[in-house]
Amino acid sequence: MRPPVSWWAPMVSEHTVQSLSAVATHAAYTQLRLLYVNRENYWWGKQAQVHPTSCWLDLMQAAVHSASTSPAARPERYGLRPSPENPHGLWLEFGVGSGKTTAAIAFHMQALLGQAGTLHGFDSFQGLPSDWDHTHLAAGTFSTGGEIPEHLKEMRNVQIHVGLFTQTLGDLDRFGNTPVAFAHIDVDIFPSAVEVLSRIACQLAVGSILVYDELVNYVGFELSGEYRAWEYVASAYGIGWEYAGMYWQQAVPMVITEPARNC
């Protein structure tokens, strides 16, 4: 029997518990662990046999590993024809910032895919383009002065696209309909998240992995930001998805179970 979810628990809590039985049967889930949403929700997490982790890197590595086994990344295993230019699908990061996450993803990609995969990172490096609703963070927060982090310039499997998303998302056009294997969404604010997610919506395939950096567990998350943007885009495009795990703070991976119906 599924344990009840209290009125104060985030909506993602109930969704996660409902998804528990599907985890074992879906190939893309096998490398991910369900984690509880926050410390206050431990009571239901324990009843649902959900295992927590306090290490964000552990969750990210599991997500990257899962994406590397998806149909987008390994099409030949599923009887599909790989893209000549991108045989392992598209690997994307929106919101590079300091580049620490970028490097972690790229290193793990290389270990799993060799030199055949490229991580495309998108950022203006000027910080938030506008104030973040329901927070104290103003436009310009997280700016690195427009400079690409030095350590990323030396990474051969990383390509950085510098500029606002309105200026750089068009760079994806050259990849045609190549499916997205993995995307890290760290754009914070609602307008940017809608812009990014709308651009890749029709290239999300069964097994595609999305990792949100700040989806839940801050004041107003259900009213704005990445959470509201995904709810809007998934509904508008008719995308099926499930939560695939939880870091105890805000980072949340999800897996696509049905591609967009409205493209």
Residue 30 lies in a domain: yes
DSSP-assigned letter for residue 82: P
CA distance 185 to 57: 15
State the pLDDT at residue 249. 65
Residue 231 lies in a domain: yes
Of 179-183, 207-211, 226-230, which gets the smallest average pLDDT?
A: 226-230
Tens digit of each residue's pLDDT (9 = 90 or more) over 221-259: 777 788 889 989 999 999 998 877 666 567 788 889 999
Three-state secondary-structure class, residue 106: helix
DSSP-assigned letter for residue 241: E
Tens digit of each residue's pLDDT (9 = 90 or more) over 82-121: 887 788 999 999 999 888 899 999 999 999 988 888 999 9
Residue 235 lies in a domain: yes
Estimate the share of the chain in helix, then strand, then coil, as percent rounded to the nearest 5: 40, 15, 45
Strands 158-162 and 240-243: what pairing? Answer: unpaired
Three-state secondary-structure class, residue 75: helix
Residue 28 lies in a domain: yes
Tokens (6 digits) for 15: 């969704």
Residue 115 lies in a domain: yes
The crossing angle, in degrees rounded to 10, of helices 225-237 and 190-200 is 30
Of 28-32, 157-161, 199-203, which gets the smallest average pLDDT?
A: 28-32
Whether the model clears a pTM of 0.85, i.e. scores above it, the answer is no
Tens digit of each residue's pLDDT (9 = 90 or more) over 12-56: 433 443 443 343 333 333 334 344 344 444 443 454 444 555 567
Query: Residue 200: which domain range?
Result: 12-76+86-128+141-257
**% of the chain with per-residue pLDDT over 70:** 70
What domain count does the chain have?
1
Residue 59 lies in a domain: yes
Instruction: Tell whether the model's pLDDT for residue 9 goes beyond 80.
Output: no
Tokens (6 digits) for 232: 């809007």
Residue 196 lies in a domain: yes
Residue 263 lies in a domain: no
Three-state secondary-structure class, residue 81: coil
Residue 54's CATH number: 3.40.50.150
